[in-house]
Amino acid sequence: MLGDNKHHLERLNQAVKLLQLPKSTPADIDVMIEVCSLLNHAQIRKLLLIYAVSDYENPISSNILTEVTRRGTETAGNDSVLLDGNELGDQVLYLKARKVEVIEKFVPPRLRIPRVRALLQFQYVG
């Protein structure tokens, strides 16, 4: 099963690498695009937009984002942020829901949530 979906995990791996790479010069963009070959320019740009820099990092400049966008318009291809819906090979169609016999109703005593406790004590008969 993992072998069929390995390329999805590789995309996640590349996204993690992207966030660890330097992001301050146009040369860094070349490295990002090379390392993240499974991600398109729109995905790289979106990850850079939502990335929250650490205290020790410099903020990602708008020049870097503009350059990533410019390079994305130069290349032909799919620049969708989302994956293709059919890329999962309709695997979702073969998932079967299982019946839930018992729902765990434990609430730690330290939590002061009387309404939730009252709700959990309610027994549905039907």
Tell which residue, 106, 47, 42, 97, has the closest CA to residue 70.
Answer: 42
Which structure tokens are listed for 11?
């995309």
- pLDDT tens sequence for the chain (126 residues): 556 678 788 989 999 999 899 988 889 999 998 999 888 888 888 898 888 888 888 888 888 888 888 887 776 565 666 655 555 555 555 667 778 777 778 888 898 888 888 888 776 554
Question: What's the pLDDT at 124?
Answer: 59
Question: What's the pLDDT at 3?
Answer: 63
Pair 105, 120: CB distance under 8 Å:
yes
Residue 110, exposed/middle/buried by CB under 10 A (0-12, 13-18, 19+)?
exposed
Q: Where are the domains of the chain?
A: 3-85, 91-121
Pair 43, 81: CB distance under 8 Å:
yes
Question: What's the pLDDT at 35?
Answer: 92
